[in-house]
């Protein structure tokens, strides 16, 4: 990653604030438990994965969540609501500022750090996951959507289980 150009032009600043706003809405959607809306942040033809940084560094493809279309995102939410048994919890995402890496024919390439705090029913808030989003966003009818979100997490020793998306 290189230093941002000294003279940032206005168009770039607008894009960055748009991405930041998108990410903030995405995080609040999860943290406010509006998970049924969460797949709408993605393009129909999309990829979403949550993958340990350790696997990425080793060039290994297995993830802890890997969806390669929007339908699979919906399946994850339905499983969480109807099938899965897990400790009830609140999620709290804290996001860093996005970095715009590239804008090309495929979309906007950006990267954003996150920390995810989890509060289970004992009331204690624990750092559950730290990592980054590696994103490609596209514009559909003027609205940004995720073509690709790779959640690469540093905290590769998971505490018990992961059910709620990051």
Interaction site with another protein (CB under 8 A):
49-52, 54-55, 58, 60-72, 74-76, 78-79, 82-87, 156-163
Cβ–Cβ under 8 Å, residues 134 and 150: yes
CB of 110 closer than 8 Å to CB of 135: yes
In order of 95, 99, 116, the CA distances from 92 in angstroms are 10, 21, 6
Cβ burial 46-79 (10 Å sphere, 16+ → b, else e):
bbbbbbbeebbeeeeeebbbebebbeebbebbee
Q: In terms of CB distance, is 76 or 147 closer to another protein?
A: 76
- Pick the closer one to another protein by CB: 52 or 98: 52
Distance between CA atoms of 150 and 56, rounded to whole angstroms? 10
Pick 4 or 71: Cβ nearer another protein: 71
Choose between 27 and 67: whose C-beta lies nearer to another protein: 67
**Shortest Cβ distance from residue 87 to another protein (Å)?**
6
Q: Least distance to another protein from the beta carbon of 104, Å? A: 25
**Nearest-approach distance from CB 128 to another protein, in angstroms:** 12
Least separation in angstroms between CB 141 and another protein: 22
């Amino acid at each position: 990653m290189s230093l941002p150009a000294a003279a940032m032009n206005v168009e770039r600043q607008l894009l960055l604030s748009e991405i930041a706003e998108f990410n903030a809405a995405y995080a609040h959607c999860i943290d406010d438990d509006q998970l049924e809306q969460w797949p709408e942040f993605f393009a129909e033809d999309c990829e979403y994965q949550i993958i340990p940084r350790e696997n990425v560094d080793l060039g290994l493809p297995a993830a802890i969540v890997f969806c390669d279309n929007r339908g699979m995102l919906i399946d994850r939410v339905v499983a969480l609501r109807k099938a899965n048994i897990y400790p009830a919890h609140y999620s709290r995402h804290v996001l860093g500022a996005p970095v715009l890496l590239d804008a090309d024919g495929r979309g906007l390439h950006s990267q954003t750090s996150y920390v995810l705090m989890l509060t289970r029913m004992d009331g204690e808030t624990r750092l559950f996951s730290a990592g980054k989003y590696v994103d490609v966003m596209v514009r559909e009818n003027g609205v940004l959507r995720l073509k690709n979100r790779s959640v690469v997490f540093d905290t590769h020793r998971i505490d018990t289980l992961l059910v709620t998306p990051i």
